[in-house]
Structure 1
Amino acid sequence: MLAVFKRELFSFLNSLMAYITIGIFLLACGLMFWFFPDTSILEYGYAEMDGFFGLVPYLFMFLISAITMRSFAEERKEGTYVLLATRPLTNLQIISAKYLACLVLVLFALLPTLIYCYSIAQLGLPKGNLDTGAIIGSYIGLFLLGGAFTAIGIFASSFTKNQIIAFAVSVFLCFFAYSGFDSVSKISAFRGIENQLANLGIAEHYQSISRGVLDTRDVVYFVSFVALFFGLTHVVIGGRKW
């Protein structure tokens, strides 16, 4: 499993596409955080990062889908999965190795944004006037959110040879999982069960953690969500005669 993990990770790091994708993500974060008037912290006037943590989930949908789209789609297109499957590894170990490699890349993309915390702390009056608990909770929430979106992306890549289709399906599933349930809960036909429907979506649990309170129910939700898509991916690749 470690060999597959290293192969996946180094194949990403040796690819120009990975650097371009992460670079575009960081550029978009920087522009939205500092320059665009509607989202700029300088226009907002308060030393807090709520706007940033509200925007990143939507950027994650594209970043993570771009990272994961090649995981199984490329293996199917080039016919290399047969060689991978002959190794003494279970399907679950193969999925886990690819998942962890993608998740490490997501973490690499997220780490440079920590400089925003320092910048805001220096801009605050007085200096260092920052809600550290909420920021730590928000970064934990982003990491868990990244794990959930990565599981979706791996699943989307498992049933097609076309990376573009995998990307599009992944973006759609991530968007629906994040905000779709909340939107559906507002339909009048579901009045009375709107809270239960909203709780099925990722946004409710991400926002709960972002308040700085790490509730075990939210952590269990994210772990269960990842396990669900692990199972779906296992069914897809286990049911195919590669």
Structure 2
Amino acid sequence: MIAILKKEFNSFFASPIAYLVIGVFLLINGLFLFIFKDDFNILNAGFADLNPFFYLTPWIFIFLIPAITMKSFADEFNNGTIELLKTKPISNWQIVLGKFWAALLLVVIALIPTITYVYTVHQLGNPIGNIDFGATIGSYIGLFFLAATYTAIGLFTSTLSKNQIVAFILGVFSTFFLFYGFDAISNSFDNNLTIQQIGINAHFKSISRGIIDTRDLVYFISVTIFFLFITKTRLENE
């Protein structure tokens, strides 16, 4: 698994993918949080918190993470290298997990520079330091599990087509539906909480409050493992 992880991770930085992902992620956040005169602008909010960042990022991830994962298996299938990969002394689980951790590690690296936002809000508080660290830490934990789930979904959709663009579109649609779709459906049933709990957004919001509920963690881990499992199953059937 480590060999696959290193190979995949190095391939991100051997091409423009890693630099584009990190650059686009930070640029979009920077523009909305500090430049554009809109409701997300931290400087014009009148109070110091990172809620706009934690609201925006899941939506940015819907496009960014499928862009990272779209080539994971689609490229292997298209070039015929998947057969060569499967002849190596590694299991299908190791192949899937190696690609999964490589993509997730890239997302984590993109998140690391955003810690400067925490410092900025810490300094802007009146008095200085007037920031809810519990909610902030909870939100970052939520983003990690959210990214893991999106990555697992993106890997699966990458096995559905040899075309990277098709894999990207399928990844965007799937993550969007699981993040927001059940909220939209619940609105048709008088905000039915049971339906909302099926979706990702409800569990991300729960963690973002700073309270780490094991039910939310179990949800994210279960969905991630499920998509990794069906990705492995697809790989076996190819």
Q: TM-score, normalised by structure 1?
A: 0.95
1:21, CA displacement in angstroms? 2.2
Amino acid at match of 2:135: A
- In structure 1, the partner of 2:212 is 214
Quote the Cα distance in structure 1 between the aligned partners of 2:33 and 2:113.
13
Quote the Cα distance in structure 2 between the aligned partners of 1:183 and 1:235.
31
Alignment of 1:33-182 (within 5 A): 33-38=33-38, 39-182=40-183
Between the two proteins, what is the percent identity of the paired residues?
48
Quote the Cα distance in structure 2 between the aligned partners of 1:126 and 1:57.
30
Which of these residues, 197, 201, 204, is aligned with residue 202 of structure 2? 204
Quote the Cα distance in structure 2 between the aligned partners of 1:216 and 1:96.
23
In structure 2, list runs of 5 or more residues that go unmatched.
none
Quote the Cα distance in structure 1 between the aligned partners of 2:133 and 2:21.
29
Cα-to-partner distance string for 1:160-204 (whole Å, 9 max, x where unaligned): 11111111110111110001001011114xx5x821110000000
In structure 1, list runs of 5 or more residues that go unmatched.
none
1:159, CA displacement in angstroms? 1.7
8 Å CA contact 1:22, 1:63 repeated in 2: no
Quote the Cα distance in structure 1 between the aligned partners of 2:64 and 2:81.
25
1:35, CA displacement in angstroms? 1.5
8 Å CA contact 1:135, 1:210 repeated in 2: yes
- In structure 2, the partner of 1:17 is 17
1:82, CA displacement in angstroms? 1.1
Which secondary structure does the structure 2 equivalent of 1:42 belong to?
coil
Runs of 4+ in 1 over 6 A off after TM superposition: none
* 1:225 aligned onto 2:223: yes
Q: TM-score, normalised by structure 2?
A: 0.97
1:63, CA displacement in angstroms? 1.1
CA RMSD of aligned residues (A): 1.1
1:25, CA displacement in angstroms? 1.1
Amino acid at match of 2:50: M
8 Å CA contact 1:103, 1:150 repeated in 2: yes
Which secondary structure does the structure 2 equivalent of 1:72 belong to?
helix
